[in-house]
Amino acid sequence: MPVYAYKGVNQSGQPTRGTITADGLRAARSKMRSSGVYLTEIEETQGGASPRSAARATPGRFEIKLPARIPPMERAMATRQLATLVAAGVPLVESLSALVEQTEHRTLKATFATVREKVNEGSSLADALVSTKRFDNLYVSMVRAGEASGALEAVLARIADYLEDQVRLNSRVLSILTYPLFMLVFAGVVVGVMVTMVLPQITELLISQNLDLPWYTVAVIGVSDVLRGYWWLLLLLLAALAFTYRAVSRTAGGRSALDRFWLGVPVIGRVIRFLAIARFTRTLGSLLASGVNIVQALNIARHVANNAVFEQAADDARESILEGAALARPLRASGEFPPLVTTMVEVGERSGELESMLIKVADTYEEQVETSVTRLTSLLEPLLILVMVGIVGIIIMAVLMPMLQLTESIG
């Protein structure tokens, strides 16, 4: 069923806009009239008739551009709602219709409207999701496995759990890092104002008195002059460094070298490693629990780690499994997974509960990520304060000592 974007005026005379699903343009107009909205503009946004045909039928054509990105939380909530509807015995097409009606995010609403059309035409849910190009391989593979096994509602619930866990983890890490980042920006602004605005007014007085300034005062004045006179060059250098880093990270060798470098950085590397392990094991466990075979699951999970080192480890594990080896052996041979991970994977393979064991590993390392980030920020906060106080103290000393010298010479 097509989705139409509209503009109009309601019964109170207030302008209104939104989207509506209907069998056609005429049905959409009729539906809006019955709801008390006088249409001024309407156009199909996805599916059915083309935008040009809608424009010819409607004066005052306007173009609706839907944002390409769907927030992870919106996707998780929609998946949870769909799982609930399917588990309640509601037919899939009707479940998708109800989902379209209650979804507020415009892009997600239009996407599920397209999915509903494809399913109504006889397509499988997984193929319909692929046609929208808005769902990754992990999502589609789990849905396809759920349809094949007849446990679609359980798989959809598992997908929702997975997405919610990822959103929760990212939100925790971001909330922990917010205060230190704010302190860093605040310290930079304070020091920048002092060096570029306050300090020059004082140093002009000192220089005009022809005093023999201490070396640290000369150094502070030099830094102030560089920041004021060549700030644009510093910005260009930062931009060049960022561009170079981005260009290097886009090459296979450069990305591998950078990822390996960051894994070796003290404290930060530990957090990056734990985060990659948590993402990899949770994705792999969720895929296996949904009925996806281990080779395909490794092909998908390798990308979720978002680290070239772990992607190579996953590739090696896949090749070893194709040759008949167990999963724990290549993971241990890679040297990138701690003994706890490989031991739990080995126990899971022996007991036939590899999926649940991988989820337990993910839970463990997500807690480790949160703990490590909390400890890191607890160390960064006083460190940032000390650095800011130290810089301000140096500036004050660089100004105060010559001022005392000037006062003594006057006296």
CATH number of the domain encompassing residue 14: 3.10.20
409 and 295 inside one domain: yes
Determine which helix (DSSP H) or strand (DSSP E) holds 17, and give its type and residue range: strand 15-21
Closest Cα to residue 222, out of 188, 238, 199?
Answer: 199
Number of domains making up the chain:
3
- Any domain includes 403: yes
Arithmetic mean of pLDDT, 247-251: 91
Retrieve residue 258's tokens. 């950078």
pLDDT at 172: 81
- Any domain includes 88: yes
Residue 286 Cα distances to 138, 145, 263, 300, angstroms: 9, 11, 25, 11
Retrieve residue 97's tokens. 């219709």
130 and 46 inside one domain: no
Residue 381, domain CATH? 1.20.81.30
Rounded CA-CA distance 259/129 in Å is 32
- Any domain includes 369: yes
Terminal alpha carbon distance of the chain = 90
- CB of 86 closer than 8 Å to CB of 152: yes
Residue where a domain stops, chosen among 106, 135, 164: 164
Rounded CA-CA distance 169/278 in Å is 10
Say if residue 296's pLDDT is above 50.
yes
Q: Which domain holds residue 251?
A: 182-411
pLDDT at 10: 67
Say if residue 348's pLDDT is above 90.
yes
Retrieve residue 289's tokens. 């629990």
pTM of the model: 0.69
- CB of 7 closer than 8 Å to CB of 28: no
Arithmetic mean of pLDDT, 276-284: 91
- Any domain includes 176: no
pLDDT at 291: 86
At 346, is the pLDDT very low, low, confident or very high (cuts 50, 70, 90)?
A: very high
294 and 393 inside one domain: yes
pLDDT at 52: 41
233 and 366 inside one domain: yes
53 and 76 inside one domain: no
Buried b (16+ CB within 10 A) or exposed e, 325-334: eebbbbbbeb
What's the count of helices (H) and strands (E) in the chain, helices before strands? Answer: 18, 3
pLDDT at 342: 93
pLDDT digits (tens, 9 = 90+) for 172-186: 888 877 887 888 888
- Any domain includes 241: yes
Mean pLDDT of the chain: 83
376 and 239 inside one domain: yes
Arithmetic mean of pLDDT, 365-386: 85
Residue 298 Cα distances to 139, 157, 276, angstroms: 14, 21, 14
Closest Cα to residue 294, out of 342, 346, 354, 351?
Answer: 354
Rounded CA-CA distance 388/182 in Å is 13
Arithmetic mean of pLDDT, 294-303: 88
153 and 265 inside one domain: no
